[in-house]
Amino acid sequence: GNSVTQMEGPVTLSEEAFLTINCTYTATGYPSLFWYVQYPGEGLQLLLKATKADDKGSNKGFEATYRKETTSFHLEKGSVQVSDSAVYFCALSVSDYKLSFGAGTTVTVRA
């Protein structure tokens, strides 16, 4: 089956620090990969996506590269802000509308 494993949190950082959240996947077929972010009391917002190997998704300073050889899609940001505090979810879908999510990583950025 399809599954996503992401690093466990919580992660606590200081402002302007470098953030990386590891994500690996198992999938039958060729998945599309996504990072979603959830702020308190809200639903999920799409942060970035990649649909094929070696694609790099980017948005709001966040980046992730689809690595087929290592089945990974790690999220990175070079300089985090307090406003980046949220829960981050890695997810995949394989030619259907079902998203399989990782457990989520809680990130707290301190001023």
Partner 1 sequence: KAGVTQTPRYLIKTRGQQVTLSCSPISGHRSVSWYQQTPGQGLQFLFEYFSETQRNKGNFPGRFSGRQFSNSRSEMNVSTLELGDSALYLCASSLGVDQPQHFGDGTRLSIL
In the complex, the residues that contact partner 1 under the rule CB under 8 A are 32, 34, 36, 41-46, 49, 51, 89, 93, 95-104
CB of 96 to partner 1, least distance (A): 6
CB of 56 to partner 1, least distance (A): 16
CB of 65 to partner 1, least distance (A): 18
Of the pair 12, 45, the CB lying nearest partner 1 is at 45
Look at residues 82, 100, 98, 76 and name the one whose alpha carbon lies nearest to residue 90: 100
CA dist 111 → 10, 16, 23, 34 (Å): 17, 9, 26, 28
> Which sign does the torsion angle of CA 6, 7, 9, 11 carry?
negative
Of the pair 17, 100, the CB lying nearest partner 1 is at 100
